[in-house]
Amino acid sequence: MKKHSRILSLLSLSLSLLIFSLLSKTSKAYCNSHDKKVLFRIKEALGNPYVLASWTNDHDCCNWYCLECDPNTHRVNNLFITNSDITGPIPAAVGDLPYLEILEFHKNSNLTGGIPKEITKLTRLRMLWLSWNNLTGPVPSFISQLKNLEYVNLAFNQFTRPIPSELSSLPKLGYLGLDRNKLTGQIPESFGNFNATDFYLILSHNQLTGPIPRSLFNVKFAKIDFSRNHLVGDAYMLFRNNSPSDLSVDLSRNNFTYDFSKTDIPTRLVNLDVNHNKIYGSIPQQLANNELQFLNVSYNRLCGQIPTGGTGRLQEFDEYSYFHNKCLCGAPLPACK
Ligand SMILES: *[C@@H]1O[C@H](CO)[C@@H](O)[C@H](O)[C@H]1NC(C)=O
Ligand SMILES: *[C@@H]1O[C@H](CO)[C@@H](O)[C@H](O)[C@H]1NC(C)=O
Ligand SMILES: *[C@@H]1O[C@H](CO)[C@@H](O)[C@H](O)[C@H]1NC(C)=O
Ligand SMILES: *[C@@H]1O[C@H](CO)[C@@H](O)[C@H](O)[C@H]1NC(C)=O
Ligand SMILES: *[C@@H]1O[C@H](CO)[C@@H](O)[C@H](O)[C@H]1NC(C)=O
């Protein structure tokens, strides 16, 4: 009996020790005090918006909404303020969260002003995601100082002026989205230096002019979208045959003028949209061998028979993939004469 009670008391002691250590773990303030001060500055700079109502001293800052901490360092590594009513510019204080890897301001239509220079202090940043806001000014060249960036998305803003050529010096960049802005000038020659193996270059809905630089022949693209600009000339340099992954190309609604029959068709080209250009010649026979998922060559100056055979895909698209050309013929268009 005595022995049992001793075991019991030992058990209850170890149990209470366990509970104590569990409790102290959950109530321990993980939040880094420097980060917490910076977060309060950010909240104040944004005018204490409703979306940041959870940012109070009552909670560990790593449990606040719109952010995450690294589980090991307990430093804030992800700040994401989305779909909110925040107003004014991106607070310069974001540059004082030195462990940030992801900075996301997305769908805040009253977020205005330029990208603050202070973000250049965020040397660990991997993702800069600032889409669907109302940001203005140029796309700053200082973004190229953040050598760990893998993903840059500045789509759906009001950015103006030419694209800075320095962006190509980002050694890990795999996604560059500058679509739906008001960018002018040419695609930089330096963009031939992008190194990633599945590069996404999304520049659609801008006011870009001039030809595509030949240097782009060196880039291993997975997706290219240059649609709705004012680009001219040839596009052969986008179609390299050793593409390591499936390739999607959208060049629609530009002023491209080239002989389609002289374009190499990469075997892994799966989506091609070139509608509304001035492309002439005939559809290359090679295209019939591709596992195409989407094709639109309408509103160009193409001629000749739509190639048959191969995978048979070219006949599976309807006439709206081919209509409004000079003299294209054969299924799904009317037979050639
Ligand atoms: C943006 O600001 C305007 C004017 O103050 C306001 O009417 C509108 O509701 C705000 N939009 C959002 C999404 O908060
Ligand atoms: C930018 O602001 C205007 C009004 O100033 C608004 O109509 C538009 O939707 C906003 N853009 C975005 C992408 O939210
Ligand atoms: C691309 O990779 C090569 C070899 O890994 C490297 O020498 C070069 O600096 C890289 N280019 C860029 C723009 O980072
Ligand atoms: C194409 O060029 C014509 C003639 O220069 C011009 O009127 C038209 O606006 C251009 N279209 C595009 C999409 O740039
Ligand atoms: C191809 O583009 C034309 C012009 O924008 C459009 O009318 C047609 O519906 C498109 N076809 C397909 C299959 O998307």
Q: What is the pLDDT of residues 26-78, one digit of tens each?
A: 445 588 999 999 999 999 999 999 999 999 998 899 999 999 999 999 999 99
Percent of the chain with pLDDT over 90: 86
The token pair at 70 is: 């690294």
Locate the domains of the chain by residue range: 30-329
pLDDT tens for 256-286 read 999 999 999 999 999 999 999 999 999 999 9
CB 239 within 8 A of CB 218: no
Res 249 pLDDT > 80: yes
Atom of ligand 4 minimally distant from the CA of 231? 14
Q: Is 320 in the pocket of ligand 5 (CB under 6 A)?
A: yes
CB atoms within 10 A of CB 94: 22
Distance CA 53, CA 49 (A): 7
For the residues 113-136, what does the mean pLDDT come to?
Answer: 98
Res 24 pLDDT > 70: no
Distances (CA, A) of 320 to 108, 273, 276: 37, 12, 12
The one-character DSSP state at 88 is B
Mean pLDDT of the chain: 92
Atom of ligand 3 minimally distant from the CA of 171? 14
DSSP secondary structure of 89-145: SPPGGGGG-TT-SEEEEESBTTB-S---GGGGG-TT--EEE--SB---SB--GGGGG
Q: In DSSP terms, which residues pair with 14 in a beta bridge?
A: none
pLDDT at site 4: 58
Res 139 pLDDT > 80: yes
For the residues 137-146, what does the mean pLDDT come to?
Answer: 98
CB 233 within 8 A of CB 258: yes
Among candidate residues 317, 300, 230, the one with its CA nearest the CA of residue 263? 300
Indicate the length of the chain as a whole number. Answer: 337
- Amino acid letter, residue 58: D
Res 327 pLDDT > 60: yes
Among candidate residues 317, 300, 287, the one with its CA nearest the CA of residue 258? 300
Q: Which ligand is nearest to the CA of 179?
A: 2
User: How far away, in angstroms, is 251 Cα from ligand 4 center?
Assistant: 14
The token pair at 49 is: 């918006």
Confidence of residue 12 (pLDDT cuts 50, 70, 90): low
Distance CA 24, CA 20 (A): 6
Distances (CA, A) of 89 to 123, 133, 149, 195: 21, 10, 22, 33
pLDDT at site 6: 55
pLDDT at site 30: 82
Among 195, 197, 199, 220, which is best to mutate for testing ligand 3, by the most ligand atoms less than 8 A from CB?
195
Q: Is 239 in the pocket of ligand 5 (CB under 6 A)?
A: no
CATH code at 30-329: 3.80.10.10
Atom of ligand 5 minimally distant from the CA of 296? 1
User: How far away, in angstroms, is 324 Cα from ligand 5 center?
Assistant: 10
Atom of ligand 4 minimally distant from the CA of 228? 13
pLDDT at site 18: 47
Distance CA 118, CA 98 (A): 11
Q: Is 230 in the pocket of ligand 4 (CB under 6 A)?
A: yes
Distances (CA, A) of 103 to 56, 99, 153: 21, 11, 11
Among candidate residues 167, 260, 143, 258, the one with its CA nearest the CA of residue 219? 167
User: How far away, in angstroms, is 212 Cα from ligand 4 center?
Assistant: 16
Distances (CA, A) of 277 to 142, 210, 230, 288, 320: 35, 14, 10, 21, 15
Distance CA 158, CA 137 (A): 7
User: Phi, psi at residue 123, to the nearest 5°?
Assistant: -70, -15
The token pair at 175 is: 């996604």
